Amino acid sequence: MQPQEETVAAALDLIGRELAAAIDSTATTDRQALDRVADLLAAAPRVFVHGAGRSGIALGMTAMRLMHLGLEVHVVGEVTAPAITSGDLLLTASGSGTTGGIVRAAATARDVGAAVAAVTTAAESPLAALATEVLVVRAAAKQDRSGTASAQYAGGLFEQTVVVLGDALFHALWRRSGRSADDLWPRHANLE
């Protein structure tokens, strides 16, 4: 492959256009599913987030925002995370919907009576089949290197969309709560 000269500004423009299209597609086609995921988050006594790699990091950002809202949130795999139980919610992200650890966690969650919300590019995946609610992101999965769904590398558009979806879920729940930003601020870390 021949190296191509591209400016950072051109890369930002490409990423912005792709992200806007992915968000628009999800907001248009999954509007009711988005609200149902927000309802699941609001109703769950505890929320667990689980993703691998960069998807997991993106969900970690969502977990932090949900904690600011006052929800009890745990990141799967952390040493302080308790066992998931009936009534809880597992919020997952897997572009392919086939990541073994995430699919197994979703199966376990369903087995104990917890709800599962899945963000994926694959509506017909094992993860989607286990989910109570599925948000389908129109983006390339990590292994798709064709450049047709996204010109970005290795699932970048999917992971960016996971961050924005998490922030949108938080924002909607925050506005529903009627609390001000000052009300939420004390939940920020003060150990600096």
- Which pairing describes strands 89-93 and 133-136: parallel, antiparallel, or unpaired? unpaired
CA 168-116-43 angle, 5° bins: 65
Does the annotation mark 192 as catalytic?
no
Which stretches of 30-155 are DSSP H helices?
31-43, 53-68, 100-111, 126-130
Candidates 5, 72, 159, 192; catalytic one: 159
Q: How far apart are CA 122 and CA 137, in angstroms?
A: 8
- Residues with a catalytic annotation lie at 159
